[in-house]
Structure 1
Amino acid sequence: MRQNFILLLFLGFVGVLYSQRNQEISEEEYAKLVYNLCVERPKKQSEIDEIMYPYQSDLPRMDILLQEASKKNYEPGLIYARTAIGLQFKNLGLNQMAETYFMGAMKAFDSVSDPLTWNRIKLHCSQINSRLSSSVRQEVFSELTTVFDRKKEEEKYLWAEATLAEGYSLLELNRSAEALLKLKAIQREIENLDQFKEKMDLLELRIYAKQKRYQDASYKAYDMLRFEQLSLKSRLEVYGILIDIEKYQGTVDLTESYTAKYDSLQVVLADSSMGVLGETVQDYSYTMMKLQVDDLQAKRNRTLVIGGILIMGLLAMVLLNIYRQYLSNNEKRVLSLEQSMLRSQMNPHFIFNSLNSIKQFIIVNEKEKAVRYLNKFAKLMRKILDGSSRRETSLAEELETIDLYLKIENMRFSNDIDVNIQVDPNLNTELIKVPSLLMQPFLENAIWHGLSDKDGEKKIWIHVEKESDVRMRISITDNGIGRERAEQKKVKRTHKRNSVGLTNTRERLHHFARNYEKDFELEFIDLKTESGESSGTEVVLRIPLA
């Protein structure tokens, strides 16, 4: 989850970089700007900020300032660049890297000459320093709230940020009442709170949850979820708190609903960056390379190579974790479908009826029929178990399995069903792959919903043909009573089981077709006589070919 969050922030940062690109000066002009800055050597951070403010969120350009200032021993420029880069890494969630830059800036800093900048860096550094305990962090933030003057325009937002950070620290120390007072203080002192709204709302929600004010917490959570600009990470945390609340209150339906939304958001966070990341890395590297300046080229090239390797390594790790999570979720889903498919094929009613038929043959002393039936039944069970361990099988094996299944079912119908299987000779059934145990649910429907209640002649036609170079057509037709009359029979238990079987078959076909250019198609056709009466059902299945 943390890596996904970092990744989304990184993409948001690159979006900002894109939006600024066309509005800024060229690379050559920027190189001259940095060079002149290091020559003129202004001492105050505020003076540097007047020149470099438009570029402080641009990592490649801040890196150029860092290298040039280092080359010319210009410490105020080094401090400005390290602080800006550290702030960007902090926003990306790369706290260790951010802390390295912040600490580098503070070591070279004269806190007496520019206390405002010193305290601003101290605030950022304290927010990400995981080695500080909650009590120490709270003391630091409390001290900073007294340093920043909330009446001054340039300091009031720093005061608000320090106060908000202290509120979070107080909550970690189980001092929720004091945390709430800090929150109210910000609301009283600052008019425009847009930049703090999300953090303040989250703090208020956590306070209510901590104080077990569940009704207030629920109202606050619903209010936050209505805010369209709420980040995915915060939305996920809101649902997490709602889950805890509903679990405590024993509301099972709401707990399950919020859990489902929580899980779906996790998937969104994992999948949303796929496909864009490669272009992001390429563009970032391109921007870094294009901004090279001749007099910095040798030294900065080494920095770019090392930085590029680190960034690529980090992104590769993030991508690998996302991809593994994706594969794991997909594998679990496919495994679930395979298990459902096996349960569908191993229908207890089918097994019971088959064994009962064998028993009847033995009772009436028809041992040869009993042995033939038993052999066919055992062979079918082996095929079903073997097919359940494979996601794909050859068309030839699939046809052999359904032929065996139909023979067993037909023996129970005293061989009253006329089965006709036709296969296009242009199809190489040994090479063509289909999902294992694909046709059985449709044949079971045909027999038990279409033909079992029909009087007179009973037929099933199976046609397998090559429709085009990229698709095969399978049709299963019966002359049964049709779907409308079958529905009227209200055979609820069998119908429900077959509905589940057909749903699982659709999903397995969907996963199978993802490896091909063409998708699968499944169509049910109600056959009618000239007088409009039902004369059976045709199932048409179109499957992609390699």
Structure 2
Amino acid sequence: MNWKDLLENRNRLFWLAHSAGWFGFALVHYLGSLLHDLRDIFVVIIFLNAYAGWLFTVPLRYIYQKVWNLPPLKIAVIVIVASYITGVLWQIVKNINYWEIYKHGYKPDFLLMYTQSSVWSFYIILSWSGLYFGTKYYQMLQVEKQNVLKANTVAHQAQLKMLRYQLNPHFLFNTLNAISTLILVKENQTANSMVTKLSEFLRYSLDKDPMKKVCLESELQALELYLAIEKVRFEDRLSVNFHIEPECQQALVPSMILQPLAENAIKHAIAVQEQGGEINITVKRFANDLLIEVADNGPGADIVDGNLHRESGVGLVNTRERLQALYRKKYSLVVSHNQPSGVKVNIRMPFELT
């Protein structure tokens, strides 16, 4: 049995803690008895008293389980009364043990003497009750904390999956629309080439778990598939340049993080210019961060508070939300003007290796 299983099993944990606590009580009293000149028989009394305490406190567990859901004031009254009664009974047994064993059958003149020193026993039992409730409340808080974490994890995963799969219909619509146009103008060979590349790209996209990050090398291969599809449409009008530092090839990035940025640049920088345009993709490392830049030389756009006024799709919005979900505050996404013309998107995220 490992410790995790033990701690998760409340019944086993109770008996272990209960027994260990009373054994510790006996051990402390034994060590204390060494300071006094007591006969060896006193050790028997110590362990008999500890065993009696072990027995008397077991029923308290079931009493407290019954009253657990009562109002706090009632619970407090029941705990005090139950602890006092248990403490008195335990003290009677301790006195009998002491008198019968250590005092050779001594009998007190008054029956009330059997309960002497009950206050100290009441304090011990009340401390046991406090530890019991403290442990139960701690376990309850831990369960609630685990439930909250589990709920947050499920919500977080659902959000990531939603954002991740939101890209496929968006990209698929644009590509199928282009294929339909090619078929209408009788360019069947070109349309067939686009369908083949589209199937390869979608296979890659669907094979990747949206909850996991991928190495940049795989992401670049997926991007090249996407760009190959777009080059069928734009031919020489689309030019793409990659500037990737070698040490960044194995860096971890969110799957399909580059494609929407490239698609956004193609839509607003390449497609709107008769002569086409150029896209530059740069990836490098700076200290503990991975820096990604996607820049175009299109006509530019109005940028307000780091957002594009032209942005009407899901590209940048989706990318920002995915980065927020994955990295919280450990990322940045900045949209700015490119020089001499166009727009560039800069992403900073933690540098992580596979």
TM-score range, shorter chain: 0.5 to 0.7
Superimposed CA distance per residue, residues 428-487 of structure 1 (whole angstroms, 9 cap, x where no aligned partner): x23x2111111222112111112211232510000111111x1011110100111139xx
Which residue of structure 2 lines up, in the alignment, with residue 379 of structure 1?
200
Partners of 2:260 and 2:73 in 1: how far apart? 55
1:43-95 C-alpha deviation (Å, 9 max, x unpaired): xxxxxxxxxxxxxxxxxxxxxxxxxxxxxxxxxxxxxxxxxxx9xx99x9547
Structure 1 residue aligned with 2:254: 435
Q: Which amino acid aligns with 1:537?
A: V
Contact 2:212/2:254 (<8 A) preserved? yes
Q: Which amino acid aligns with 2:195?
A: L
Q: Which one of 469, 478, 483 corresponds to residue 301 of structure 2?
A: 483
Please list the CA deviations of residues 355-408 of structure 1 after superposition, one character each: whole Å capped at 9, or x if unmatched.
3256358x34x53x4443222100111122223543322211111111111111
Matched, 1:97 2:82: no
Query: TM-score, normalization: structure 2?
Result: 0.60
Distance 2:270 2:261 in 1: 13
Paired residue secondary structure (1:496): coil
Q: Contact 2:261–2:316 (CA<8 Å) still a contact in 1?
A: yes
Paired position in structure 2 for 1:502? 316
Q: In the TM superposition, what is the alpha-carbon distance from 1:301 to its structure 2 partner?
A: 5.3
Q: Deviations 1:185-211 (Å, cap 9, x if unpaired)?
A: xxxxxxxxxxxxxxxxxxxxxxxxxxx
Q: How many Å separate the matches in 1 of 2:229 and 2:71?
A: 63
Q: Which residue of 2 aligns with 1:536?
A: 342
**Distance across 1 between alignment mates of 2:132 and 2:82:** 22
CA distance in 2: counterparts of 1:440 and 1:414, whole angstroms: 18
Helix, strand or coil at the partner of 2:231: helix
Unaligned runs of 5+ in 1: 1-85, 108-294, 530-534
Provide the alpha-carbon RMSD of the alignment.
3.9
Letter of the structure 2 residue corresponding to residue 458 of structure 1: G
SS of 2:283 mapped into structure 1: strand
Q: Name which structure has the greater RCO, CA cutoff 8 Å, separation 6+.
A: 2
* Percent identity of paired positions between Structure 1 and Structure 2: 24
Letter in 1 for 2:319: T
- Describe the SS at the equivalent of 2:247: coil
Amino acid at match of 1:321: E
Q: How does 1:7-26 map to 2 (within 5 A)?
A: none
| CA distance 1:96–1:371, change in 2 (3 Å) | farther
- Aligned to 2:294, the other structure's residue is in SS state strand
**Cα distance between partner residues in 2 of 1:102 and 1:448:** 75
Structure that is richer in helix per residue: 1
Structure 2: state its 5+ residue gaps.
1-63, 86-117
Q: Which residue does the alignment assign to 1:419?
A: 240
1:507 CA displacement: 2.3
Q: Return the letter of the residue paired with 1:332.
A: A
**Following the alignment from structure 2 to structure 1, what is the Cα–Cα distance between the partners of residues 200 and 259?**
15
Equivalent-residue separation in structure 1 for 2:271 and 2:317 (angstroms)? 22
Residues 295-314 of structure 1, C-alpha deviations (whole Å, 9 max, x = no match): 98887556535532442232
Does 2:225 align with 1:397? Answer: no
How far 1:412 moved relative to its partner? 1.2
**Which structure features the higher share of strand residues?**
2
Structure 2 equivalent of residue 146 of structure 1: none
Pair 1:304–1:527, CA change in 2 (3 A): same
1:495-541 deviation digits (Å, cap 9, x = unpaired): 4223xx42232222123224xxx711111111244xxxxx1111111
Give, in whole Å, the separation in 1 of the partners of 2:129 and 2:76.
Answer: 17
Match of 2:177 in 1: 353
Q: Secondary structure at the residue paired with 2:338?
A: strand
Distance 2:227 2:74 in 1: 66
* Matched position secondary structure for 1:474: strand
The answer for the alignment partner of 1:519 in structure 2 is 330
TM-score (structure 1 length as normaliser): 0.40
